[in-house]
Amino acid sequence: MSKPTLGIIGGGQLGSMLAIAANKLDIKTIIFCDDIDAPAQNFSNEFIHGDYNDQNKINEFVNKVDIITFEFENIPFETLNEINKSKPVLPKPSVNRIIQHRLAEKDFINKLNIRTTRYVSIEKKSEIDSVQDMLPGLLKTTTLGYDGKGQYLIQKIEDLETLNIDFSKGYILEKLVKLKKEISIIITRFDNKKYEIYEPVENLHEEQILKYSKIPAEIESKILEQSKLWAMQIAEELKYVGTLCVEFFIDRNDNLYVNEIAPRVHNSGHLTINAYNVSQFENHIRAVCKLEQVALKKISNAKMKNIIGNEISFYREKKYEQNEFFFDYLKKEIKSKRKMGHLTTLIK
């Protein structure tokens, strides 16, 4: 059987790394993105620029590919659902409908009897008055947030006066967890009860943006087992195909909570490129293109640093050791708080 051509919606660094992994497996990729400067066009076989609701452009894209996947979860559900009528979209669009909405996502997780932070829906500013036991809390837009965008820390009710929050959008208010640590689990599901699962990654955020990841995570074995089990339960319940990430909080009393699910490859899994025989990206391609499932083998412990904003200039000049792997996302513009590249270091 000849290999399929894979369409990838979204052209950022995750799209780039998916295209590189596909190329290694002899799979052609076409990237569709609304950003004409999308960096992933440097790594794919073809690039189509168009708006996510430009039907003609979408048709052109869909006609050229056999399977479609995506690198970010905020593509309108209707768009994915329409595409899915002519070519398979994996993971399936219904997964996105749940996960792109923070309330639907948390309801879904709680139905599985998996712990999340306490949360409440907020549609009007005045509603916060009656839920003051949820403070200090984080008010987050229910849709379209990433890297801490659309999030407000509310310590006390008076904070609402100084924060200029647009309440025409829907919000979720989450009780702030006293964090000891954050970890994530990356899992690739191929089919019923068929998985490849990576060990937990320990993550450190600065200003709500991931800054450092490392394996092994320094956690108790009980938490390691519980996090893997919950990630498998979530993937199974969603009948997920491809790579998925579950982000977790560990509080100061060693309680584990699911923070959120990313229905895609994830920043905390970049170190799998160098630390494992098969990366999260390659596993995603293998699962969505129905290629062979290869048993995971760890090559090395590792740490990863995200290179954010202006820091990139230094890393572009730097000389690297053999155990260091620098990835430049080739973004046209340097912006503060923008992920510009990453550095993985293999460690003992």
Q: Write down the least CB distance from residue 286 to ligand ADP, Å.
A: 26
| Interface with ligand ADP, residue 138, by CB under 6 A | yes
| Interface with ligand ADP, residue 144, by CB under 6 A | no
**C-beta closer to Mg ion: residue 48 or 186:** 186
**C-beta closer to ligand ADP: residue 174 or 282:** 174
Q: Write down the least CB distance from residue 176 to ligand ADP, Å.
A: 4
Amino acid symbol at 131: V
| Interface with ligand ADP, residue 73, by CB under 6 A | no
Cβ pair 300, 347 in contact under 8 A = yes
What separation in angstroms does the CA of 67 have from each of 49, 102, 209, 284?
18, 27, 31, 12
Helices assigned H by DSSP within 112-176: 159-162
Q: How many CA atoms lie within 13 A of 289 on its CB side?
A: 28
| Interface with ligand ADP, residue 338, by CB under 6 A | no
Place of tokens 């780039």: 16
Range 14-43, binding ligand ADP (CB under 6 A): none
322, containing H or E segment: none
| Interface with ligand ADP, residue 184, by CB under 6 A | no
- Are β-strands 46-49 and 28-33 bridged in parallel, bridged antiparallel, or unpaired? parallel
Stretch that binds ligand ADP, among 89-97, 141-149, 273-281, 327-335 (CB under 6 A): 141-149
Q: Write down the least CB distance from residue 138 to ligand ADP, Å.
A: 5
Q: How far apart are CA 221 and CA 196, in angstroms?
A: 19
- Of 162, 143, 177, the closest CA to residue 258 belongs to 177
- Are β-strands 67-70 and 5-9 bridged in parallel, bridged antiparallel, or unpaired? parallel
**C-beta closer to ligand ADP: residue 209 or 330:** 209
* Structure tokens, 91: 């993971």
What's the gap between Cα 145 and its chain centre?
Answer: 12
Q: DSSP per residue over 265-302, as a string?
A: --GGGTTHHHHBSS-HHHHHHHHHTT-------B--EE
Q: How far apart are CA 196 and CA 189, in angstroms?
A: 7
| Interface with ligand ADP, residue 103, by CB under 6 A | no
* Structure tokens, 190: 């191929």
Q: Write down the least CB distance from residue 172 to ligand ADP, Å.
A: 9
Q: Write down the least CB distance from residue 68 to ligand ADP, Å.
A: 23
| Interface with ligand ADP, residue 117, by CB under 6 A | yes
Q: How far apart are CA 191 and CA 193, in angstroms?
A: 6
| Interface with ligand ADP, residue 204, by CB under 6 A | no
| Interface with ligand ADP, residue 199, by CB under 6 A | no
| Interface with ligand ADP, residue 141, by CB under 6 A | no
* Structure tokens, 208: 């709500």
Total site size for ligand ADP, rule CB under 6 A: 16
Stretch that binds ligand ADP, among 104-112, 175-183, 280-288, 339-347 (CB under 6 A): 175-183
Q: Write down the least CB distance from residue 205 to ligand ADP, Å.
A: 4
| Interface with ligand ADP, residue 182, by CB under 6 A | yes
Q: Write down the least CB distance from residue 260 to Mg ion, Å.
A: 5
The interface mask with ligand ADP, positions 250-289, x = CB under 6 A, is: ---------xx-----------------------------
Q: How far apart are CA 173 and CA 132, in angstroms?
A: 10
Residues contributing to the site for ligand ADP (CB under 6 A): 117, 138, 145-148, 174, 176-177, 179, 182, 205, 208, 247, 259-260
Residues contributing to the site for Mg ion (CB under 5 A): 247
